[in-house]
Amino acid sequence: MPQSSVSNRIGIEPGDYGLDLAHSCGEDRIKGSMRALRNFTLCLCIGVALLAAQSLAAQDPPPVTNEKVPPVRTDLLSRITIEVSGGEKDTPVENASVYVKYVEERKLKKDKKLELNVKTNRDGIAHVPNAPLGRVLIQVIAEGWKTYGRWYDITDTKQVFKIRLQRPPKWY
């Protein structure tokens, strides 16, 4: 039996079972509405960004002054002087190594241990620049003398420490 006669008995016209572009699938309609929603939100975001940029550009810039304000130093550093002498007659000890050790406190990381090393001159005087205010360990090492070490509190920006070294005991 020809196909057209079978389709006529069922009630289908000859053009009904072919591809018809006028009727679309239900999924296509959902995708189309989602695409429209995405385009709408994109346009809305761009509009809000443009309005924000326009309001920022419309503000007055801060007034420019010609006065320069010097920066405030919060970390106070000092220059300490260490006078090293030794023996019964308080003779100056030259070329002695003077170590100044301190801890730099940090908030986020582990505390940092720092050390400054200077030598004494012929007069037995050592100047330590940029020593921090607070608690420091001063150690003195000199050939022929006992090693010295003690904790000090630096309270003044120009402080003088007098250190007297002892002779080591004799070995028999």
Cβ-proximal residues to 100 (8 Å cutoff; 6+ apart), any chain? 80, 115, 116, 117, 118, 128, 131, 136, 137, 138
Give residue 137's identity as a one-letter amino acid code: L
Q: CA-to-CA distance for 10 and 12, rounded, in angstroms?
A: 6
Kindly report the number of other CB atoms within 10 A of residue 51's CB atom.
10
Residue 112 DSSP label: E
Q: Residue 31's pLDDT is what?
A: 64
The reply to whether the predicted model has a pTM over 0.85 is no
Q: Please write the tens of the pLDDT for every residue from 84-129.
A: 999 888 899 999 999 999 888 888 888 888 899 999 999 999 999 8
